[in-house]
Amino acid sequence: MTVLLSVEDAAVSYGAVEAVRGVALQVASGSVATIIGANGAGKTSLLSALGGLLPMRGRVIYDGHDITRLGTADRVAAGLALVTESRDLFGTMTVEDNLRLGAYTRTRAEAAQGIEEVFGRFPKLKERRTQLAGTLSGGERQMLATGRALMSRPSVLMLDEPSLGLAPLIVRDIFHIITELRNDGIGVLLVEQNARAALQTADHAYVMELGRFVMQGAAAEMMHDQRLVETYLGISGAGN
């Protein structure tokens, strides 16, 4: 396990408002790191900045290179892929076209191999290959967005709220695939409001509050942290 993505002193602002400040994190190959926190804590802002979609201060080191100044497209080409909360699929294009465009930065042969792998991981997408992306269900969209990101053969995959709006069974599938990706050596950075599912899947966890990391540690230990359970694992914590 080597550290692939390392972030130092990251800050993101909207005008005078600082949404993220002084954040440092690391993602290693073959591991899952998760960021949990309430809505509005700054998780999505941080992830978007790491994906190059928002300007940020601080340093982002990927695979030994400083990529802080690179745009989104260059980051993807380097191997750092992001699946956003809004998925950003090409709604008027077919599932297959979406996937092929996912391999835009790769060779034709890599794309052909990649598409077989993605269809292997998500058999549902293979069934729907000629359907327009805009007509897919929520779960299928999430699969397609993840599959499209995988087509660029990333070594670090960042996922923003993959369980958003999905039925429990599908959520289970998604987290199963995250575990698979980790076992294949990919580093995963996961932002998730479903804190319990995130902690069960992750190796390392960061807790974000008002734009800062207030706690971090091994995910397994955090599951048993009483304060965390009360704050982020929601109603059962207080009730049971």
Which stretches of the chain bind other proteins, using CB under 8 A?
Answer: 15-19, 38-41, 51-53, 69, 71-74, 76-77, 81-84, 86, 88-93, 97, 100-105, 134-135, 137-138, 148-149, 151-152, 161, 163-168, 171-172, 175, 193-194, 196-197, 200-201, 210, 231, 233-236, 238-239
**Strand-strand pairing, 80-83 and 156-160:** parallel
Q: Looking at beta carbons only, is 25 or 157 nearer to other proteins?
A: 157
DSSP conformation class of 168: H
**Considering beta carbons, is residue 139 or 187 the nearer one to other proteins?**
139
Task: List the strands of the sheet with 212-218, edge to edge.
Answer: 80-83, 156-160, 187-191, 32-37, 204-209, 212-218
Q: How far is the CB of 216 from other proteins (least distance, A)?
A: 21
Pairing of strands 204-209, 32-37: parallel
- 147 with 99: CB under 8 angstroms? yes
Torsion angles phi and psi, residue 84, rounded to 5: -85, 165
How far apart CA 89 and CA 99 sit, in angstroms, is: 10
Name the residue nearer to other proteins (CB basis): 19 or 228.
19
> Whole-number minimum distance, CB 102 to other proteins, in Å?
5
Q: From the CB of 47, what's the least distance to other proteins, in Å? A: 12
Q: Which is nearer to other proteins, 2 or 168 (CB)?
A: 168
Question: Which amino acid, one-letter code, is at 95?
Answer: V
Q: Smallest distance, Å, CB 3 to other proteins?
A: 24
Residue 97 Cβ vs other proteins, minimum distance, rounded to whole Å: 6
